[in-house]
Amino acid sequence: DVKVTQSSRYLVKRTGEKVFLECVQDMDHENMFWYRQDPGLGLRLIYFSYDVKMKEKGDIPEGYSVSREKKERFSLILESASTNQTSMYLCASRGQTGGTGELFFGEGSRLTVL
Amino acid sequence: DQQVKQNSPSLSVQEGRISILNCDYTNSMFDYFLWYKKYPAEGPTFLISISSIKDKNEDGRFTVFLNKSAKHLSLHIVPSQPGDSAVYFCAASASNFGNEKLTFGTGTRLTIIP
């Protein structure tokens, strides 16, 4: 059974703290993505990676960075958390070619910044 | 600028009837479209996709229709069941190639009334 696992389902952090969100996939996918979901705004792409050590900015990269040191792992980093980063964060992975082109999502990490 | 729009934030349908969810897009480079379903506190799951070379794709109770000239797609669910109550997102991409990013709509909350 294919799996994308996000390390924390729920986190509460204080403004200014550094936050790490970890994501691991077991499907040997080349491509991994970080989205955030907010009411009325849908899913917005933060960053994605199409290979180890490669990264591309999505639509809303400000305030975030990412790390992809191994193929199966893609981390999202909030260097200094702010209240407007309170959100549901979703990691996803995708194979390289053909098929349905679907993204496989993890269960999400709900982050609250106080 | 919202390139993928779902203009109905919510929809209620009687059990057994047809549910029709709509999606419009503005980017003419989009060539591949997907629908996802999301339950609360879970990641989105893939439902059905369609390539621009088709105008219809069917999978069981789910059918997606694409009108390229109108830049419009719709998801039909028939018959609707209580388990279909969820938020539905449409997504678009320039291809189904793995490193192509998906752009999501804002979502429609579907409620099936028993």
DSSP A85: G
Q: What is the pLDDT, as a whole number, of residue A98? A: 58
The token duo for A26 is 């077991």
User: CA-to-CA distance for A78 and A99, rounded, in angstroms?
Assistant: 33
Q: Residue B104 is inside which H or E element, if any?
A: strand B103-104
Inspect the interface and report whether the beta carbons of A94 and B101 lie closer than 8 Å.
Answer: no
Query: What value does the mean pLDDT take over residues B22-42?
Result: 93
State whether residue A29 sits within 8 Å of chain B by CB: yes
Q: What is the pLDDT, as a whole number, of residue B101? A: 85
Query: What value does the mean pLDDT take over residues B56-71?
Result: 97
Are A26 and A18 contacting, i.e. CB atoms less than 8 angstroms apart? no
Residue B36: pLDDT above 90? yes
Residue B40: pLDDT above 80? yes
Q: What is the pLDDT, as a whole number, of residue B96? A: 74
Query: What value does the mean pLDDT take over residues B64-68?
Result: 97
Q: What is the pLDDT, as a whole number, of residue A99? A: 63
Q: What is the pLDDT, as a whole number, of residue A82? A: 97
Q: How far is B114 from chain A (nearest CA, A)?
A: 26
User: CA-to-CA distance for A108 and B28, rounded, in angstroms?
Assistant: 31
| Chain B residues touching chain A at CB-CB below 8 Å | 4, 6, 9, 32, 34, 41-46, 49, 89, 91, 93, 95-107
Are A1 and A104 contacting, i.e. CB atoms less than 8 angstroms apart? no
What one-character-per-residue DSSP string does A21-78 give?
E-EEESS--SEEEEEEEETTTEEEEEEEESSTT--EE-S--TT-EEEEEETTEEEEEE
Pairing of strands B45-51, B32-38: antiparallel
The single-letter code of the amino acid at A100 is T
- Find chain B residues with C-beta within 8 A of A97's C-beta: 97-98
Nearest to B34 among A56, A102, A110 (CB): A102
- Find chain A residues with C-beta within 8 A of B32's C-beta: 101
pLDDT averaged over every residue in chain B = 94
Inspect the interface and report whether the beta carbons of B96 and A40 lie closer than 8 Å.
Answer: no
Question: Which residue does chain B place closest to A9, by CA atoms?
Answer: B41
Inspect the interface and report whether the beta carbons of A31 and B6 lie closer than 8 Å.
Answer: no
Sequence-distant (6+) residues with CB within 8 A of B93 are A101, B30, B31, B32, B33, B34, B100, B101, B102, B103
User: CA-to-CA distance for B88 and A42, rounded, in angstroms?
Assistant: 10
Question: Which residue does chain B place closest to A6, by CA atoms?
Answer: B43
Residues B95-104 pLDDT 10s: 777 778 889 9
Q: What is the pLDDT, as a whole number, of residue A1? A: 66
List phi, psi (to 5°) of B109. -85, 115
The token duo for A62 is 């400000």
Q: Residue A4 is inside which H or E element, if any?
A: strand A4-6
Inspect the interface and report whether the beta carbons of A29 and B98 lie closer than 8 Å.
Answer: yes
DSSP three-state, residue B105: coil
Counting as low any pLDDT under 50, the low residues of chain A are none
What burial class does residue A63 get, using C-beta atoms within 10 Å of its C-beta: 0-12 exposed, 13-18 middle, 19+ buried?
middle
The token duo for B43 is 């990641």
